[in-house]
Structure 1
């Protein structure tokens, strides 16, 4: 094994979620028909690495159930400003002994921790 390649993010509406993640700074990698009315929508951050796919076909993955995934930031304050300017609500930055964190939730409530 080498790395985690794709993480499935459960969403209600794939297009609404895609627009949110694009505003968040993700880039669209692929969008193609997949399983009936669903699409395979895969996005990634500009520097590469692990990508996400917006899923609505796993019955045990409920929209809004994802929490604890961490996105590394070089400048948390600048990223918070950019996200806020893009209309994305960001929770307050909390300082911990292991860094600063702020939470962002997608339209379904899936929570991401921004970390610097």
Structure 2
């Protein structure tokens, strides 16, 4: 196998503009693509410098159920600071909790897609 990385992860959403505001404004992601293509708008966001981007799939962009994505892990250098920022923005956060592999917290986007923040412990 010669796989080097994942190109994108699809996040099913009901409203592209609402999702864009969340990922760009609340999480600080950059817009990497925003194009009109058949069958609809192709919108991708990512943390600065990331190899893997998130495709926000709205109505008409496949057979996706908004809010059905789970287990999306976002690695951060400071989970506590990021949790404080999300909470200040009105986004409910569970954690952070100390786990064997690091400090981890979870939250959802406006559609209910499950996201996690992780500050990894050294050696994991």
Report the TM-score when normalising by structure 1: 0.90
Contact 1:72 1:115 in 2 (8 A): yes
Which 4+ runs in 1 deviate beyond 4 A?
Answer: none
Q: How far did residue 49 of structure 1 move?
A: 1.8
- From 49, 52, 55, the equivalent of 1:53 is 55
1:25 aligns with 2:45: no
Q: If the length of structure 2 is used for normalisation, what is the TM-score?
A: 0.84
3-state SS in 2 of match to 1:87: coil
Answer with 1 or 2: which has the greater Rg: 2
1:112 correspondence with 2:115: yes
Deviation at 1:35, TM superposition (A): 2.4
Q: Deviations over 1:42-72 (max 9, x none)?
A: 111013221011013221x211111111100
What's the counterpart of residue 83 of structure 2? 80
SS of alignment partner, residue 83 of structure 1: helix
Q: Structure 1 unaligned runs (5+)?
A: none
The unaligned stretches of length 5 or more in structure 2 are 120-124
Secondary structure, counterpart of 1:108 in structure 2: coil
Shift of 1:84: 2.2
